Amino acid sequence: MPEIRFDIRWPDGTLERCYSPSLVVQELLPKGPLPVFEFMERARAALHIGAERVRLKYGFSCSAALDQLAALERRARLVDTRSLMEVLAFHEGSYLPPLDFGAGPEAPPAPEEDGQAS
């Protein structure tokens, strides 16, 4: 089964890389901002579907998907579920780029290069 990872940013700016055993997460989670409660509804559905697809194919549910959901549920309890979070990226395959901790709205702008040596 094709697995996928997806990067999210919580309302406090914390970045997290998540796992799904199924590409269905790309269909159910839109890239961009959405309220935490909506993200959680969609993530629950996607991770349960993924776990079930594994069960149908291999005869057992995907514990990694259910563990990921449990971790998201724990984290979501710590924030206002009406606040916005963001789905940043999806990664298929074995190469995973590092999480970009400086890409958030709170990050200072990159210095401009003016071509002059100092």
Per-residue pLDDT reduced to its tens digit, 28-44: 999 999 999 999 999 99
- Residue 2 pLDDT level (bands cut at 50, 70, 90): confident
- Find the helix or strand (DSSP H, E) in which 32 lies: strand 32-35
Tell me the pLDDT tens digit for each residue of 82-110.
999 999 999 998 778 888 765 554 443 44
Q: Is the pTM of this model over 0.85?
A: no
Return the residue matching tokens 């990067």.
7
Which tokens in the block code for residue 85? 């979070």
In angstroms, the CA 95 to CA 23 distance is 16
In angstroms, the CA 47 to CA 64 distance is 9
Tell me the pLDDT tens digit for each residue of 45-56.
999 999 999 999
Residues 6 or more apart whose CB falls under 8 angstroms from that of 50 comprise 20, 21, 22, 24, 25, 62, 65
